[in-house]
Amino acid sequence: MYVVEQYARFANEFRDQAIPAQVLHHAKRAVIDWTAAVVPGAVVAPATLLEKARAEDLDRGGARLMLGRAATARTAALINGSAAHTVEVDDIFKFGIFHPGAPTIAAALAAAQDLGASGEQFLRAVIVGYEISTRIGAAMGRAHYRFWHNTGTVGTFGAAAACAELYQLDATRFAHALATCATFAAGLQQAFRIDSMSKPLHSGHAAEAGLLAAQAAREGVTGSLDVIEGDAGFGRAMSDGPDWHKAVETLGRDFHITQMTFKNHACCGHTFAAIDAAQELQRRLGVAAGQIARVQVGTYSPALDVAGIEHPTSAAEARFSLKYVVATALRHGSVRLAAFEPALMNDPQTRELMQRIDLAVDPELDASFPAQRAARVTLQTTDGRSDTYLQPARKGDPELPLSDTDLDDKYLELVAPVLGESAARDLLARLWSLETSDKVPGR
């Protein structure tokens, strides 16, 4: 069987099985975390600009934008998928080096709303999308991440799989949905190495393209079933020879949705270990930002490749500036959404502290990426003291997970300012009991 056929067989077999309680719980956590990301992203660009660009597909259709406006399913997937990846608080599957929730859940919600699906059907689709896409991401590995933005490429498979599940496609049409979406997959790293809105658009495109692939397969459109492993296929063209046997062998037994990283800072995830380590050293040494003489950050090379912007001039660049976010954490105590407002971005003391931060690749930590996302930080004080701390994982990683209470707090911090406290809490309660609902939010 081709790879896409093996994934399709898993989805069809899982359809008739009860969802394990732990898997169901983690699926709800993923949806809550996605909601925490999409709501604040819905009121800023590019989502607000996409509403203008796709006006002909709004105020009609069976799906909804996150704040309630009617939309066609494809446009809802595009705009919600982009919004979910805008403020950089969406989930991560570290082994696949991508954010599965932003495109997968955006597409699944649009399709579920359009179909009138139940909460349980929606959650099952989210699980299927995560299980298939995370394995493709892990197989494609670090070689893929050198040039490609995995959330745009691998995320397309998550969206297609989730929608194919909601459409109840048989194994043949499900496989063709995956085959078709493979040739839609796109997203270049270079697109966000300087200021641009392209990065969240990658997620939105993945959501829309995956949904389209599933819709097309439902009507009988076929794809090349060997597109994953073929000589000129996805794996060979965009990686260095993935092990596709390994990418399917634990399907249905080891559920990756239980291994998500939920972000604790509102910026690039590659910066988190350094932020956590710097804050731990600041607590140990008991110093304010003005008492710090030097900060040395050692981490893995992709962290510097992706988040090495030296002099950020916009919020988008600042989220990918390791120096900026570490300095902000030391100066203000956190890296939340306010860190990317003009007042904090232009804080002269933060900018001055950035000049005292040195970045370097730590060979040991680089060798452990992507399985481990670590940083080794040394902090020197103006009175001559010095300490070093190794942060072996990021707070929010499976090894140091956010609790359900932590996740609720994150959600309320991000959602309540947009929806209002009462509406945010009502929606949160609904999400925690989603499996018992006969419809999904927005319907």
The mean pLDDT of the chain is 97
275-288 pLDDT per residue, tens? 999 999 999 999 99
Give the rounded percent of residues in the chain with a pLDDT score beyond 70: 100
In this structure, are 19 and 41 located in the same domain? Answer: yes
Tokens (6 digits) for 115: 């179909």
Whether residues 273 and 250 share a domain: the answer is: no
Distance between CA atoms of 181 and 206, rounded to whole angstroms?
Answer: 9
> Domain total for the chain?
2
The reply to whether 443 falls in a domain is no
* Residue 282, in any domain of the structure: yes
Q: Are residues 68 and 159 in the same domain?
A: yes
Q: Fill in the DSSP letter of residue 20.
A: P
CATH code, domain carrying 253? 1.10.4100.10
pLDDT tens readout for residues 172-201: 999 999 999 999 999 999 999 999 999 999
Q: How large is the angle between the packed helices 198-218 and 73-83, nearest 10 degrees?
A: 150
In a domain, 396, yes or no: no
Count the Cβ atoms, other than its own, within 10 Å of residue 195. 15
Residue 390 β-bridge partners: 376
Residues 234 and 366 in one domain: no
Same domain, 221 and 204: yes
For the chain, how far is it from start to end, CA to CA, in angstroms?
39
Same domain for 69 and 159 = yes
Residue 380 inside a domain? The answer is yes
- pLDDT tens-digit series, residues 139-150: 999 999 999 999
**Range 216-231 average pLDDT:** 98
- 253-309 pLDDT per residue, tens: 999 999 999 999 999 999 999 999 999 999 999 999 999 999 999 999 999 999 999
- What's the whole-model pTM score? 0.96
> Is residue 172 in some structural domain?
yes
Residue 138's pLDDT is 97
Question: How many helices (H) and strands (E) are present in the chain, helices listed first?
Answer: 19, 6
- Residues 92-102 have a mean pLDDT of 97
- Taking each helix axis as running N to C, give the angle between helix 21-41 and helix 101-115, from 0 to 180 degrees, rounded to the nearest 10: 100
Whether residues 274 and 199 share a domain: the answer is no
Q: Does position 42 have pLDDT exceeding 90, yes or no?
A: yes
Domain containing residue 17: 3-263+402-436
Residues 359, 343: Cα–Cα separation, whole Å: 25
Q: Looking at residue 279, which CATH number applies to its domain?
A: 3.30.1330.120
Same domain, residue pair 339 and 423: no
Query: What pLDDT is attached to residue 241?
Result: 87
Query: Do 301 and 384 share a domain, yes or no?
Result: yes
Question: In terms of domains, do 277 and 169 share one?
Answer: no
In a domain, 155, yes or no: yes
- pLDDT, tens digit, 9 for 90 and up, residues 118-172: 999 999 999 999 999 999 999 999 999 999 999 999 999 999 999 999 999 999 9
Tell whether 441 is covered by a domain.
Answer: no
Residue whose token pair is 């194919």:
164
Give the H/E segment covering residue 388.
strand 386-391
DSSP state of 258: G
Asked if the structure places residue 81 within a domain, the reply is yes
With a cut of 90, say whether residue 349 has pLDDT above it. Answer: yes
**Whether 259 and 280 share a structural domain:** no
Report DSSP state, residue 337: G
Cα–Cα distance, 411 to 62 (Å, whole number): 26
Question: Distance between CA atoms of 86 and 198, rounded to whole angstroms?
Answer: 10
